Amino acid sequence: MNLFDASLGSRLSTRGSPAAFLDRDGTVIEDLGYLGDPAGIRFIPGALEALRALRRAGFRLVLVTNQAGVARGLISEADVRRVNGRLAGLLAEAGIPLDGIYYCPHHPEYGPPEYRRDCDCRKPRPGMIRQAVRDLGLDPARSVVIGDHVSDALLAQAFPGMRGILLRTGHGAEQWQKIQQGELARPEHVADDLRVAVEWFLARAGGQDVVGSHPA
């Protein structure tokens, strides 16, 4: 498996920490297509409060993002790293450090040979989460995966005990319509945005924090 790991933040001193595995575009930041310019980063309303609540509740924060624009020749890996680095910096400045960012640059049908592959890291396959679990010492059974595609939420099925949530932000509204039409499988839970999703999850995970209940 050719997994590109851009892990950031502190390494864990203990094993088995719970984590929130989060899609990037359409979940944490606005989906502007294949984003190659860090200046285009725009946080979805409520996302910072949601991430802060997860951190306060003891969850590690890990982004897992497909970046097939690399395989398609629309952006470079350097572009992806610049955007990820700037995003991590903005979150750190807000007091919400990330523990890791993992991205997949591949596509099964497009691109040069080094990127055109049926890999294990491209979601909905679980390679990126498996790698993060190994790298950071995480406990999938106490974790959650959240994104704006059904394939994000259904990643949870590969890890007993993990919860999966689909958002209606980004591509989520279209995905929700397809669910209602019977074209896509319904995940465990569907929420309007990341803030609402985290409220739902923490209420069931025993988290003591309430999203937005503390000053920034």
Give catalytic status of residue 31 as yes or no: no
CATH superfamily of this structure's domain 4-205: HAD superfamily/HAD-like (3.40.50.1000)
For residue 15, the model assigns a pLDDT of 53
Q: Which residues of the chain have pLDDT under 50?
A: 1-14, 208-210, 213-216
Cα torsion 60, 65, 70, 74: sign: negative
CA atoms within 13 A on the CB side of 188: 19
For residue 206, the model assigns a pLDDT of 73
Report pLDDT digits (tens) over 99-152: 999 999 999 999 999 999 999 999 999 999 999 999 999 999 999 999 999 999
Out of 5, 25, 79, 152, which one is annotated catalytic?
A: 25
For residue 114, the model assigns a pLDDT of 95
Domain residues of the chain, as ranges? 4-205
Tokens of 185: 């499988």
Q: Are 179 and 195 in contact (CB under 8 A)?
A: no
Out of 23, 79, 152, 193, which one is annotated catalytic?
A: 23
- CA 153 to mean position of chain CA atoms: 10
Give catalytic status of residue 99 as yes or no: no
How would you list the strands of the sheet with 19-22, edge to edge?
4-5, 100-104, 60-66, 19-22, 144-147, 163-167, 189-191
Residue 165 phi, psi dihedral angles, 5° rounding: -130, 130
